[in-house]
Amino acid sequence: MGIVERRIRDRQNRVMEILDASKRMFRSRGFIETTMNEIATDSDLSRRTLYLYFHNKEEILLTLAVQTLEQLLEETAKSRIQEMTGIERLINLATTYRNLYVADAGSFQFIPNFTNCVRALGGSHPIVKKCENITNELISIVSMMLQEGMEDHSVRKIDNPTKTAAILITMIHSFIQSVDTDNDLLCIALHISPSDFLDESFSFITHYLSAKDKD
């Protein structure tokens, strides 16, 4: 391995260490309470070194958002090559979200803080644009699932699949935010696990979209 390749690898490893430390801090202390100093300390870096990689915690959070959205996009795209009806693809999408959340809830810390981060960085910031592009691509795939579902008669008639796809993604994110912020209420008071909450919530969506419920 040459010097250039080694430097690239070392930089990538350092970025991953920062992101992992940030995810832990955001999960344990919350995004608002977490400071760049704390992230630097948990990453075993000086504050000055941390700023060589990220200018602020908003950039860090949206970089984590890109990671999660890209993983969702990759998993969703895989279902496109499988033999499924439209409604089965939508159920698979919900299952993908659910499994990723259960495996690593910290990956979804961007959801409740996304809007504030975008406002802080500005709509023209590269990481903001990347988030938007990935989200639009995800919406496009879901829109195609809805269209395929109408064609195979597994999804009820929808006038604007793209609009419905955008609403669907927003609802899924809202469910995840709810289970994350109200976890104590769900688990302790209502005896509902986060995974059960998501399963039931997502089933409402697919039940509504299913062609058999159109009447």
pLDDT tens string 58-97: 999 999 999 999 998 888 877 777 788 999 999 999 989 8
Quickly state the pLDDT bin for 10 (edges 50, 70, 90). confident
Task: Calculate the alpha carbon distances from 57 to 13, 47, 109, 148, 167 in Å.
Answer: 18, 12, 12, 40, 28
Mean pLDDT, residues 129-157 taken together: 94
Do 29 and 118 belong together in one domain? no
Do 110 and 208 belong together in one domain? yes
> Under a CB-based contact definition with an 8 Å cutoff, are residues 133 and 69 in contact?
no
Quickly state the pLDDT bin for 4 (edges 50, 70, 90). low
Residue 188: what pLDDT?
67
Q: What is the CATH number of the domain that holds 88?
A: 1.10.357.10
Contacts of 129 (CB under 8 A, 6+ apart): 123
Dihedral sign for Cα atoms in the order 123, 127, 130, 132: negative
pLDDT above 90 for 163: yes
> Under a CB-based contact definition with an 8 Å cutoff, are residues 25 and 38 in contact?
yes
Do 13 and 76 belong together in one domain? no
Do 65 and 50 belong together in one domain? no
Residue 181: what pLDDT?
66
> Under a CB-based contact definition with an 8 Å cutoff, are residues 121 and 59 in contact?
yes
Supply the mean pLDDT for the chain. Answer: 88
Do 26 and 67 belong together in one domain? no
Quickly state the pLDDT bin for 109 (edges 50, 70, 90). confident
Do 13 and 94 belong together in one domain? no
How many domains in the chain? 2
> What is the residue range of 129's domain?
60-213
Do 82 and 141 belong together in one domain? yes
Q: What is the CATH number of the domain that holds 19?
A: 1.10.10.60
Do 5 and 72 belong together in one domain? no
Quickly state the pLDDT bin for 178 (edges 50, 70, 90). confident
Do 158 and 201 belong together in one domain? yes
